[in-house]
């Protein structure tokens, strides 16, 4: 099973009604897409907008795409900008405030998937909670005890430096942002780039993946169907969905990719070309 969509309309999230100002979301992947693990959206906070202090019964990963925002998390306050990312663990009190003149947007990954409206509550607001004041810019070398970091396109090394040459990913640059080593429990988030001509063969996983395209163009084959995805598009593959990618364009293609649940420690990829070679060795 798979899903292909585009960044769409930003709408108020009823969960935050009465506990926010100027907050909207454009849903990318949820239960209506066929997913059971992934809650992926683009969050937007208008100028002077805010989200009151709250906790979730799920884990949240985020990556700031544009604008600047104040985040209060677990007693610390930060000023975040493009390329800043983090993980808010289950039950951690946090609040957001846009103190700038422009809207701020971030990719928001929730795992386990939030409950659909009308089912059990999984977000709870602090009584008389205070909005965050100002904060210093994030220092990735000193996140002050929270799961925060920074990575942007300017940090991609030139040429072949740092590019993968194993696991079927020859020539691919991949930077893990959020994973179990970072401190997350329920999901992973990574930044990836394929240079022109670079691809990965048909394979599947024991977890769901979602891919939000930042720039460039990529050919995707999902369950045998071919798609061309560009900036603003989202792809999602279920557990067991056979999929492959190739950059057939002339520019690098870059995306943010999520996994949920976290992968097993072994046998993360199952490449079918490799298993065909094993079959020949055993049966022919």
261 shares a domain with 193:
yes
Indicate whether 155 belongs to any domain. Answer: no
131 shares a domain with 193:
no
184 shares a domain with 130:
no
208 shares a domain with 124:
no
Q: CATH number for the domain including 91?
A: 2.60.120.10
Nearest Cα to Cα of residue 236 among 14, 31, 11? 31
Residue 114 CB neighbours (<10 A)? 21
Indicate whether 147 belongs to any domain. Answer: no
96 shares a domain with 179:
no
Per-residue model confidence (pLDDT) at position 235: 98
Per-residue model confidence (pLDDT) at position 266: 82
Indicate whether 154 belongs to any domain. Answer: no
166 shares a domain with 134:
no
Indicate whether 151 belongs to any domain. Answer: no
pLDDT class for 240, splitting at 50, 70, 90? very high
pTM of the shown model: 0.94
Over range 39-63, report the average pLDDT: 98
Indicate whether 38 belongs to any domain. Answer: yes
Per-residue model confidence (pLDDT) at position 166: 56
Edge-to-edge strand list for the sheet holding 270-271: 225-230, 217-222, 243-246, 199-204, 270-271
Written as one string, the DSSP assignment of 90-159 is TT--EEEE--SSS-EEEEEEEESPPPPTTS---EEE-TTPPPP---EEP-TT--TTSEEEE--GGGSPST
- Residue 163, pLDDT > 80, answer no
Instruction: Give the residue from 106, 138, 170 where a domain finishes.
Output: 138
Interval 103-139: pLDDT, tens: 999 999 999 999 998 899 999 999 999 999 999 999 9
- Specify the DSSP class assigned to residue 253: E
Per-residue model confidence (pLDDT) at position 263: 86
- Residue 234 CA to residue 252 CA, distance in Å, equals 17
- Residue 233, pLDDT > 60, answer yes
101 shares a domain with 170:
no
Q: Which residue would you say has higher pLDDT here, 164 or 68? A: 68
119 shares a domain with 207:
no
Over range 18-34, report the average pLDDT: 97
Residue 149 neighbours by CB under 8 Å, 6+ apart: 84, 85, 86, 140, 143, 177, 182
Question: In the chain, how many domains are there?
Answer: 2
Q: Which residues of 58-68 are buried (b: 16+ CB within 10 A; e: fewer)?
A: bbbbbbbbebb
- Residue 104 CA to residue 242 CA, distance in Å, equals 35
Domain range spanning residue 203? 162-283
Instruction: Give the residue from 86, 106, 138 where a domain finishes.
Output: 138
Would you call the peptide bond into 274 cis, given omega within 30 degrees of 0 as the criterion? Answer: no
Element (H, E) at 176: strand 172-178
- Residue 276, pLDDT > 90, answer no
Residues 225, 27 contacting (CB under 8 angstroms): no
172 shares a domain with 110:
no
Interval 59-76: pLDDT, tens: 999 999 999 999 999 999
131 shares a domain with 34:
yes
pLDDT class for 172, splitting at 50, 70, 90? confident
Indicate whether 69 belongs to any domain. Answer: yes
Indicate whether 150 belongs to any domain. Answer: no
20 shares a domain with 74:
yes
Per-residue model confidence (pLDDT) at position 283: 86
113 shares a domain with 241:
no
pLDDT class for 212, splitting at 50, 70, 90? very high
């Amino acid at each position: 099973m798979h899903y292909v969509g585009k960044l769409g309309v930003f709408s108020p999230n009823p969960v935050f009604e009465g506990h926010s100002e100027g907050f909207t979301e454009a849903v990318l992947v949820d239960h209506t897409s066929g997913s059971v693990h992934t809650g992926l959206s683009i969050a937007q906070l208008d100028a002077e907008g805010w989200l009151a202090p709250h906790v979730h019964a799920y884990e949240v990963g985020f990556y700031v795409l544009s604008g600047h925002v104040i985040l209060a998390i677990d007693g610390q306050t930060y000023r975040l900008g493009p390329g800043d990312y983090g993980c808010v663990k289950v039950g951690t009190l946090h609040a957001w405030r846009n103190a700038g003149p422009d809207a701020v947007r971030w990719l928001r990954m929730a795992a386990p998937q939030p409950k659909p409206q009308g089912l059990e509550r999984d977000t709870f607001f602090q009584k008389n909670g205070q909005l965050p004041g100002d904060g210093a810019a994030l220092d990735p070398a000193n996140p002050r005890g929270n799961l925060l970091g920074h990575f942007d396109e300017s940090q991609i090394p030139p040429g072949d430096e740092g590019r993968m040459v194993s696991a079927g990913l020859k020539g691919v640059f991949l930077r893990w942002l959020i994973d179990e080593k970072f401190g997350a429990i329920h999901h992973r988030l990574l930044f990836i780039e394929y240079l022109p001509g670079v691809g990965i063969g048909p394979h599947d996983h024991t977890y769901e993946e979602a891919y939000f395209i930042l720039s460039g163009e990529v050919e995707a084959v999902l369950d045998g169907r071919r798609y061309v995805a560009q900036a603003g598009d989202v792809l999602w593959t279920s557990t067991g969905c056979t999929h492959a990618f190739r950059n057939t364009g002339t520019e690098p293609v870059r995306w943010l990719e999520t996994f949920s649940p976290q992968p097993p420690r072994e046998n993360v990829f199952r490449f079918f070309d490799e298993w065909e070679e094993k079959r020949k060795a055993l049966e022919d």
